[in-house]
Amino acid sequence: MAEFIMELNDEQKEVRDWIHGFAAEVMRPAAAEWDEREETPWPVIQEAAKIGIYSLDFYAQQYFDPTGLGIPMAMEELFWGDAGIALSIVGTGLAAVGVLANGTEEQIGTWIPQMYGTPDDVKVAAFCSSEPDAGSDVASMRTRAVYDEAKDEWVLNGTKTWATNGGIANVHVVVASVDPALGSKGHASFIVPPHTPGLSQGQKFQKHGIRASHTAEVVLEDVRIPGSCLLGGKEKLDERLARARERAKSGGERVKNAAMATFEASRPAVGAMAVGTARAAYEEALEYAKTREQFGRPIIDNQGVAFQLADMRTSIDAARLLVWRASWMAVNGKPFTAAEGSQSKLFASETAKKVTAQAIQILGGNGFTREYPVERMHRDAAIYTIFEGTSEIQRLVIARTLSGMPIR
């Protein structure tokens, strides 16, 4: 087990500086344009692919960093550059992780390369889980997968929503219910290959923030996929369903808590994204306060401004420490006995909303215009308290973990 440290090593610093350079030189100059266009920034993704940031190898190297700091460090720098473009770059990783976590070696080797494409012909992938009536309440999922034994095919029907890259992806990973009686334990994940009949893009959402990231509904109408597209294979699924049915009779709550622990482990990465956006807004506000003069002196000379900046920096550093702690715990297999994953996501996301609002206040009227980036950062920050579990869900998870009570 790697020791928990609060400083990046030399190799990590080199990677951080490399990512920071890309964020500063490529992402930031393009941020306002793609936010206004509300379109996927394909040229930026291609640039990321050419230098190796948009690739499975890069994220795998960061994920397997034994200190646990690789992923949060990378996420913070990318989202410091711009949240919308960054989500377009990392969104494919959600689908790739779904295949890595549940797929066979053959499935991993077959489908993940098709998710990324090549630097000259980049592709994206989509992870489709949420539904109009099943966001936080995953047990209410209505998308169904029915096995056609005669043809060795799965037939998928339903509608997914809030899917990053939904409809434009080369490969879709779809979570569907194969046994509704088991709730979330009756779910399975499926690969929908490129150009499969029956899959279409529904509504594309026009969003408040992260507008450079494509978000849409995915409609599945009698989508037939080969049996080999069930992640993990049918034998493994049948064994898992049988165990779930037995556990549901004697220890259903234990199964539910094990599933919650899986969600917990992914939340620090979202916290790191929020830290990146918050840090970007803080730096803009600090520089503005040092150069903007009123009444013959820089506005940072006023305690009302200086104290805000002090609070902003303190909150950002505290959020980063919570994220790093949870990331180290997740990589090293330490249990979240106090819901540390949710703690990090909750505090960092709320910090991002507060800090970006304070940045606008410090810039005054300029902060309210699109001429300055803090307006966009504030819009982007709103998503962190919503996706990957709302702040209310995080508080519920933390309270249940601490009390051991089924708080509702």
* 388 flagged as catalytic: yes
Copy the structure tokens of residue 298.
């820089």
**β-pairing verdict for 187-192 and 171-177:** antiparallel
Q: How far apart are CA 246 and CA 251, in angstroms?
A: 8
Q: Give Cβ neighbours of residue 226 (< 8 Å, ≥ 6 apart).
A: 152, 153, 154
CA-to-CA separations, 45 to 120, 123, 198, in angstroms, rounded: 11, 9, 28
Cβ proximity of 95 and 126 under 8 Å: yes
Helix, strand, or coil here: 153?
strand
Task: State the amino acid at position 377 in one-letter form.
Answer: M
Query: Do residues 348 and 384 make contact, with C-beta atoms less than 8 angstroms apart?
Result: yes
Torsion over CA: 399, 400, 401, 403 (sign): positive
C-alpha–C-alpha distance, residues 132 and 219, integer Å: 12
Distance CA 289, CA 309 (A): 9
Q: How far is CA 285 from the centre of its chain?
A: 26
- 330 Cβ contact list (under 8 Å, min separation 6): 68, 264, 265, 268, 336, 341
- The length of the chain, given as a count of residues: 408
Amino acid at 185: K
Q: Is the dihedral angle over the CA atoms 14, 30, 171, 142 positive or is it negative? A: positive
Triad 290, 304, 366: Cα angle to 5°: 55
Given a contact cutoff of 8 angstroms between Cβ atoms, the answer to whether 393 and 343 are in contact is: no
The whole-angstrom separation of Cα 79 and Cα 275 is: 8
C-beta neighbour count of 46 within 10 angstroms: 16
CA distance 307 to 302: 8
List 131, 264, 375, 388, catalytic entry? 388
3-class DSSP assignment, residue 92: helix
Please name every residue paired with 131 in a beta bridge, in sequence order, or none if there are none.
Answer: 134
Annotated catalytic residues are 388
